[in-house]
Amino acid sequence: MSEAESESRAGREEVWIEKYRPDSLDDVMGHEDIVGRLQSYVRRNDLSHMLFSGPAGTGKTTCATAIARELYGENWREHFLELNASDERGIDVVRDRIKNFARTSFGGHEYRIIFLDEADALTSDAQSALRRTMEQFSNNVRFILSCNYSSQIIDPIQSRCAVFRFSPLSDDAVEQEIRHIAAEEDIELTDDGVDALVYAAAGDMRKAINGLQAASVSGDVVDESAVYAITSTARPEEIHDMVQSALDGDFTAARATLDRLLTEEGIAGGDVIDQLHRSVWEFDVDDEAAVRILERVGETDYRITQGANETVQLEAMLATLAKGQ
């Protein structure tokens, strides 16, 4: 790839996420049931307050903007306020920015939409203030709240919203979209590259697109090697071999693989745990052994998230598996 081509592709990289965000609910992939329910609201032009809950990259923001585009047309941005609660999490945001938007004129439409992303990052006081604001302006504003964990949203807010739970996208949906983008951007994408992107994404469309963008800048062809290198993801067979060595009692070999993943490939311990968890049922073990592996994976994950040294904890996990305990 020439320097000019590399710079051109890098320049385009910044806009891919928004460039390929669906403009219509009809184009949203992987959530047919949710889309059908949302379309019924749009057809009646009668939205309720909504709570979108689910993992990152599964279409929550896309659905919110698609609703606004269908209701308001080209001027949708004038009637759609997007706030990120993780950046603006204090009570002042609820009292000031939301109220100011709710009180301004909105010519020609019965209501405007306030989209509050990562609402589970709001403090309890801010959520209480939001509840009162939702009541006060319910005649001319509809709220769409987005969160990863609905349990972090107080019950009074949940009871005022229609709840939509987004699950990770299917592998087929992710593959279809990245193949479409690769064709549109004239990227040579191999079949093993597609499989690697789907595996690395784990149902997160944003992660798949970002991986495709980054890998396309690094070389002429997006293949398996490029994807795993750019996404800092271990190959599934490496995780399998590491754990299988431990289960066979060969701790030295298992530790050597772990050391290579952590030091040479720079993969985070938490990511190793996540991939191991996804691969447990691929090992040639009985149910009792699988339960034992999952128990150790869960304990190791907890210790790492609490701040323990990830290398020590992962080695201890492999040692326990090697001892057959």
Share of the chain above pLDDT 90, in %: 29
Question: Which CATH code is given to the segment(s) 236-323?
Answer: 1.20.272.10
* CA pair distance 292, 319, nearest whole angstrom: 13
Residue 56 counted as an annotated binding residue: yes
Q: Domain map of the chain by residue range?
A: 3-16+170-230, 31-165, 236-323
* pLDDT tens-place string over residues 104-125: 766 677 888 999 888 888 888 8
The yes-or-no verdict on residue 12 having pLDDT over 70 is no
Which of 314, 301, 307, 304 shows the shortest CA–CA distance to 258? Answer: 314
Q: What is the mean pLDDT of residues 210-234?
A: 85
Residue with tokens 């000019």: 4
Residue 59 counted as an annotated binding residue: yes
Residue 60 counted as an annotated binding residue: yes
Is residue 209 a contact partner of residue 181, using CB atoms and an 8 Å limit? yes
Q: Would you state the CATH architecture of domain 31-165? A: 3-Layer(aba) Sandwich (3.40)
* CA pair distance 250, 323, nearest whole angstrom: 9
Residue 55 counted as an annotated binding residue: yes
Token output for 153: 């949203």
pLDDT reported for residue 304: 92
* CA pair distance 240, 238, nearest whole angstrom: 5
What is the residue type of 161? C
Q: Would you state the CATH architecture of domain 3-16+170-230? A: Orthogonal Bundle (1.10)
* pLDDT tens-place string over residues 139-187: 888 999 999 998 999 999 999 999 999 999 999 999 999 999 999 888 8
Token output for 143: 């709220």
* CA pair distance 192, 281, nearest whole angstrom: 22
Could you give the dihedral angle defined by the CA atoms of residues 145, 149, 152 and 155, in that order, rounded to the nearest 10 degrees?
60
| pLDDT tier at 14, thresholds 50, 70, 90 | low
pLDDT reported for residue 134: 84
Residue 57 counted as an annotated binding residue: yes
pLDDT reported for residue 130: 83
The yes-or-no verdict on residue 97 having pLDDT over 80 is no
pLDDT reported for residue 88: 56
pLDDT reported for residue 28: 86
